[in-house]
Amino acid sequence: MTVDLRWLTAPEDEVAAAMATVRRTSRPSWVPTKRQVLLRVNHCLILWYLCIVFMVYGISVDSYHGGQATASDITGLFAAMVILAVWLFGTYRMHVWAAKPPSPRARLKQWRQTLTALANGFEQQPLQAATFRSMITTGNPDVRAYPRFTASDVEFGNILRGANRSSGWQYIAVKLPAPLPHVILDATSNNRLGSDLPTTIDRGQRISLEGDFDSWFQAYSPVQYRQEALYVLTPDVMAALIDEASRFNVEIVDDFLVFFTSPSADFAEPEHWQSLDGILTNVAPRIIARARRYVDERVPGQEVPRALAAVRATLENPSEPWRPPTPRIGPDGRRLAVRERNGLLSLLGAVAWWVTSLLLLYLVPGTFAFAGFMSIVDGR
C-alpha cells in the first residue's frame, strides 16, 4: 500500500470541485458543530443571568425594603429586562448562525479527509456504536466512532466514549481470518504516570520477550497461552511493531487486531495516514499470516492438523465434501483477566457529569430564578 496524500494539500478549488463530483457527506447529524455547542452554552448563561438578576432584586425587596419593591428596584429590573431582550435577539441570530453548515475552514478540512480516504480505497461511515470488541469499546455503552473510515476487513478513525467528546482514541482495527488468543501490548512511549490503557491488567499475565522488545511494549497474555503469544509475536512481527507501531497500544482479541492510542487524531494531518500505511503494509499482514495457520489444539475437534483431517475425511466418505471445523479459542485463552481502570471512579464521573449538566446548569439556576421572581412579584 502506498498512501495517496495529494488531497491534504491540494488547492481549495480543486478540493471543492472533487467533492461536488463524489457527492459524499462528511459530518453525521449526531455530531454537533462548534457553533451548536456554543449555542447550548449560551442557553445556560441566559438561565444563570435570570437567576442572578431575580435573586439580587428578590433579596433587595425582601431583606432591605421590607417586602416592598421600590422605584430603584423597578428601574434596575427594567434595565435588566432590556439587556435580556437584546440578549434573546442575539440568541435568535445565534440559532440562525448555528443552523448553517460548518465554517468554510472546517468544511474544507472534512473534505480533505473524505477525499484522502476515497483516494486510498476507504469510505467514511461514522457509527453510533462499535463494530468490534476491545478494551476501548467495552465498559461504556455510549461509544461513537467519528470519523470512521472503512474498507474490506479494515476500519480506522476515532473512538469517543461517554459524554466527554474532547478526547478519545485513535484506532485501526483489522479483521483476522481466524481468532487468536487474547494478547495486549501496552506501548511504553505513551505511558506517562503509568499505563494509559483503559483497563487494569493482572500483572501475573505479563510475559517477557526477547531482545529489547520489552522496552517498547509491555506484553500480556493468558497464563495458559503464553506459548501461543510467542507463536504470534515472532521476531519479525516484533521488529515491525517497533518500526511502525511503537506509539500504538495493540490488542489481539477474538478475530480482530486493534491498534489504538490517545488522544484522537486529526486526519487532515498526513502523519496519521502514514502510520496507517506502515501498519497495514508491514505489521498487519504478518499477524494475519499467523492467524491463518493457528489451531488451538485444546479445543476438541481441532487438535488434528487440518490437512490431515481433510485427507482422512475424504478417504472415509468420498461422496461428502469435507468442511473444516470453525476455528475457536479455548475459554482460558479468550480473555485476559482485566478490570475497568478506576471503574467506580468512571461511574461516579459519568453520574457527576449528568448531575452537573441537569442540575447545576439548568435546574439550580431555574429554581432560584423562579424564587427570586416570586419575591419581586409578592413585593410589587
Confidence at 217, pLDDT banded by 50, 70, 90? very high
| pLDDT at residue number 343 | 47
- Residue 376: pLDDT over 70: no
What does the domain layout of the chain look like in residue ranges? 34-101+345-378, 125-293
Which pLDDT tens digit goes with each residue over 116-163?
Answer: 999 999 998 888 888 899 999 886 667 889 899 999 999 999 998 765
Give the confidence band of 313 by pLDDT, cuts at 50, 70, 90.
low
Q: Any idea which residue has 497495514 for its cell?
A: 280
Instruction: Evaluate if residue 104 carries a pLDDT over 50.
Output: yes
Q: Of 20-24, 195-199, 331-335, give the lowest mean pLDDT range.
A: 20-24
* pLDDT single digits (tens) 60-93: 776 666 667 778 878 888 898 899 999 999 998 8
State pTM to two decimals.
Answer: 0.74
Taking the CA atoms of residue 321, residue 325, residue 326 and residue 328 in that order, the dihedral angle to the nearest 10 degrees is: -170
